[in-house]
Amino acid sequence: MHPVQKSARSDARCLVMGILNVTPDSFSDGGSYLGTHQAIEHGLALAAAGADIVDVGGESTRPGALRVPPDEEENRVLPVIRVLAAEGIRVSVDTTRADVACAAVQAGAAMVNDVSGGLADPHMAALVAAMAVPYILMHWRSPSADMYRHAHYQDVVIEVRDELLRRVERLTDAGADVDRIVLDPGLGFAKRPEHDWALLSRLPELTGLGLPVLVGASRKSFIGTALADARGEPVPPADRDSATAAVSALAAASGAWAVRVHNVPANRDAVRMAQAWTARS
């Protein structure tokens, strides 16, 4: 078993990563936890609800989102990470910047979750190698502001797989330990709904690579589109939690290492049902 899996899970259950957006503009809960106190309280609540990891981010990656200054990103996440880590909670930092990742690990983060897979910051690979912490490498083609211009694929699963493997090679060439790398197909990032569904339905082609795979489907637009009403209007993000849990169960049954979600209790139940299902199949 991959060492990231060994260190983070004891019962072969797919892990649940709780989302903590310390941002004013995230697509689902922007502004809800922007204050440090509110963010800490929500992080504690996520852990109490059963999150195995709390993912703390200070910059929105929703479609069309613009960058925030590095010092502002740090000011949002570091106080939250310090408190949560001191409470014994396993924390990941959601950032594309090497300097922010470094400061977050020094503050107690145990993992770096980089939606750019190291492409947004040329120093990230060397940092990951030097700090020797687990690193979530997501498939990414461009910043959020224009990512849909790059949503063109002949075979999205093969292309995502190959691009991820090239990023793994670049990281290991820089000295990163392959046994600390987690892959993320990047649902919704330079992907249209048909691309997201293809990646999910063929997830074993990614989990079969031998590296842990994180699935981040929570409340995303492809779910809202699938649940559209008779007029074709997608359901709003806050009403996508039940469907997200269904996707989490399917992803877990397909071998996902973890799911990244807003609603922890529903998704923890979902992955436990997947565990029970697969144990009997």
The residues carrying an active-site annotation are 220, 260
For residue 48, the tally of other CB atoms under 10 A from its CB is 10
Q: Residue 59 and residue 83: Cα distance in Å, rounded?
A: 19
CA distances from 147 to 67, 191, 208, 267 (A): 14, 8, 27, 28
DSSP line for the chain: --HHHHHH-SSSPPEEEEEEE--S--TTTTTTT-SHHHHHHHHHHHHHTT-SEEEEESS--STTPPP--HHHHHHHHHHHHHHHHHTT--EEEE-S-HHHHHHHHHHT--EEEETTTTSS-TTHHHHHHHHT--EEEE---S-GGGGGGG---SSHHHHHHHHHHHHHHHHHHTT--GGGEEEE--TTSS--HHHHHHHHHTTHHHHTTSS-BEE--TT-HHHHHHT--TTSPPPPGGG-HHHHHHHHHHHHHTT-SEEEES-HHHHHHHHHHHHHHHHT-
